[in-house]
Amino acid sequence: MTETTTAQDQIRQTIETNDVVLFMKGTAQMPQCGFSSRVAGVLNYMGVAFKDVNVLADQELRQGIKDFSDWPTIPQLYVKGEFVGGCDIITEMTLSGELDSLFETNGVAYDKDAADKIREANAE
């Protein structure tokens, strides 16, 4: 088994055993980049329980997640094993209400009032 396979297997196992996974730079409590901070902040504010995976702690994992999703940037959000997107996509989905729908469809608990507050704060 190659090291790439190991990283791919680790990624697959993580997204299959957790409803919501955020591959990010840093941790939910201490993000190491603005984009990771924004997505983790949205999830935390909306009260979504999620597994944070710090790609900075493992270079193989950092490259492995990009190969796994065929998406070049971090952070990457997965819901129920499906790749949702990165920071821009999550921001757009939050503001449009699509993220609420995705969570509802997949039975992921979140705070609807908090989601509405994010939209209100960004409605200019």
In the numeric block, which tokens belong to residue 60?
């193989």
**Amino acid present at 57:** A
The backbone torsions φ and ψ at residue 107, rounded to the nearest 5 degrees and listed phi first, read: 70, 30
87 is in an annotated binding site: no
Query: What secondary structure, in 3-state letters, does the chain show?
Result: CCHHHHHHHHHHHHHHHCCEEEEECECCCCECCHHHHHHHHHHHHCCCCCEEEEHHHCHHHHHHHHHHHCCCCCCEEEECCEEEECHHHHHHHHHHCHHHHHHHHCCCCCCHHHHHHHHHHHCC
**Residues annotated in the binding site for [2Fe-2S] cluster, as ranges?**
33
Which residues participate in the annotated binding site? 33
